């Protein structure tokens, strides 16, 4: 809170409701039955069907960039940084039955920051957007699901991912996702780099296409699509069959992005142990302070 001497009153940081933050003229997610709403759903489904990816630029209005980025930055100060060593794009262990240069045996390390959901304040604008029912209803329609619900997990529901410049130039290395779909909202793009790069449908349920995967991992750029990061862009993505990564970030400004989890059933939670693994020892203390038994 700040004392505004000119107006002699106490003012808090400007806050907005979801309907003021989302560009509903362009993306009428509150009125999906309308012609424009139906056209939006059709577009999302077509893009997801064709490329497993649908990017809605300007989903959050440019006018509120300053306020939202300020919130994201404040949260990012509390990020927990984890390092992971020896990851391959399948997130599997080394398997000496494959030759040394096989994609299953090409490993890299990552260092990323992550902000757990319990650190978002009760009046956080990002939290309010995440919990806004029309958003979940829109995402369900876009992904062609009967319904989707915000994850009921106190830590894993909505996160901020922090990716900064690092010497190894890894970014978030090439991988396939284990979850069915990923929903991200870009807050702060870096000065350079940090593009979302993907090769749509490089593998199928019938064919791992190891040769093509190997070529990408070895630096071949053929077939790679790029989405340049921009404030307010909402990305819907199915990463199980499209090899993807965040290109290395360059410069002093970190890439800050929200990552939102939605589930097919209400009331879903993750295990406490998985949250401790992701967000570190602070979670153990939070849980013990709440005198909850660990699951």
Ligand X SMILES: O=C(O)CCC(=O)C(=O)O
Residue span binding ligand X (CB under 6 A) among the ranges 53-61, 147-155, 212-220, 238-246:
238-246
170/238 Cα distance (integer angstroms):
22
CB of 74 to Fe ion, least distance (A): 25
Give me 225's structure tokens.
Answer: 């699509």
Does 173 sit near Fe ion (CB under 5 A)?
Answer: no
**The one among 75, 246, 249, 283 contacting ligand X by CB under 6 A:** 246
Q: Report the candidate in 246, 92, 118 with the shortest Cα–Cα distance to residue 182.
A: 246
What is the residue-wise DSSP string for 154-169? TTTSEEEEEE---TT-
**What is the contact mask toward ligand X in residues 83 to 122, using x (rule: CB under 6 A)?**
----------------------------------------
Number of residues that bind ligand X (CB under 6 A): 11
Does 177 sit near Fe ion (CB under 5 A)?
Answer: yes
CA distances (Å), origin 98, targets 32, 105, 220, 258: 49, 7, 21, 37
67/272 Cα distance (integer angstroms):
32
CB of 246 to Fe ion, least distance (A): 9
Residue span binding ligand X (CB under 6 A) among the ranges 20-28, 67-75, 136-144, 239-247:
239-247
The tokens 């190891």 sit on which residue?
210
Q: Residue 235 pairs with which residues in a beta bridge? A: 55, 184
Find out whether 186 and 229 touch, Cβ atoms under 8 Å.
yes
Does 67 sit near ligand X (CB under 6 A)?
Answer: no
Find out whether 228 and 42 touch, Cβ atoms under 8 Å.
no
204-263: contacts with Fe ion (CB under 5 A)? 239
Does 188 sit near ligand X (CB under 6 A)?
Answer: no
**The one among 15, 166, 182, 214 contacting ligand X by CB under 6 A:** 182
**The one among 61, 104, 238, 244 contacting ligand X by CB under 6 A:** 244
Q: Residue 159 pairs with which residues in a beta bridge? A: 259
Q: Residue 104 pairs with which residues in a beta bridge? A: none
Does 27 sit near ligand X (CB under 6 A)?
Answer: no
Contacting residues toward ligand X, per CB under 6 A: 161, 172, 177, 182, 184, 196, 239, 244, 246, 257, 259
Contacting residues toward Fe ion, per CB under 5 A: 177, 239
């Amino acid at each position: 809170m700040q004392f505004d001497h000119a107006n002699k009153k106490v003012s808090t940081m400007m806050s907005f409701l979801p309907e003021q933050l989302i560009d509903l003229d362009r993306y009428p997610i509150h009125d999906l039955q309308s012609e424009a709403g139906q056209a939006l759903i059709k577009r999302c489904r077509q893009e997801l069907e064709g490329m497993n990816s649908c990017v809605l630029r300007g989903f959050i209005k440019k006018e509120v960039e300053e306020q939202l980025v300020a919130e994201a930055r404040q949260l990012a100060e509390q990020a927990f940084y984890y390092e992971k060593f020896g990851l391959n794009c399948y997130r599997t262990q080394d398997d000496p039955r494959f030759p040394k240069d096989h994609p299953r045996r090409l490993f890299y390390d990552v260092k990323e920051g992550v902000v757990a959901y319990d650190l978002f304040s009760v009046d956080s604008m990002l939290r309010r957007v995440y919990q806004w029912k029309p958003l979940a209803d829109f995402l369900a329609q876009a992904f062609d699901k009967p319904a989707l619900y915000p994850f009921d997990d106190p830590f894993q529901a909505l996160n901020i991912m922090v990716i900064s410049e690092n010497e190894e130039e890894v970014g978030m290395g090439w991988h396939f996702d284990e979850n069915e779909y990923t929903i991200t909202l870009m807050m702060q793009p870096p000065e350079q780099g940090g593009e979302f790069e993907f090769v749509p449908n490089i593998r199928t349920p019938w064919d791992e296409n190891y040769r093509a995967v190997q070529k990408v991992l070895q630096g071949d750029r053929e077939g790679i699509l790029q989405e340049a990061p921009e404030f307010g862009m909402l990305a819907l993505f199915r990463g199980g069959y499209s090899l993807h990564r965040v290109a290395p970030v360059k410069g002093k400004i970190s890439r800050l992005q929200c990552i939102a989890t939605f589930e097919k059933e209400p009331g879903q939670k993750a295990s406490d142990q998985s949250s401790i693994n992701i967000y570190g020892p602070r979670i153990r203390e939070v849980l013990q302070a709440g005198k909850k038994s660990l699951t």
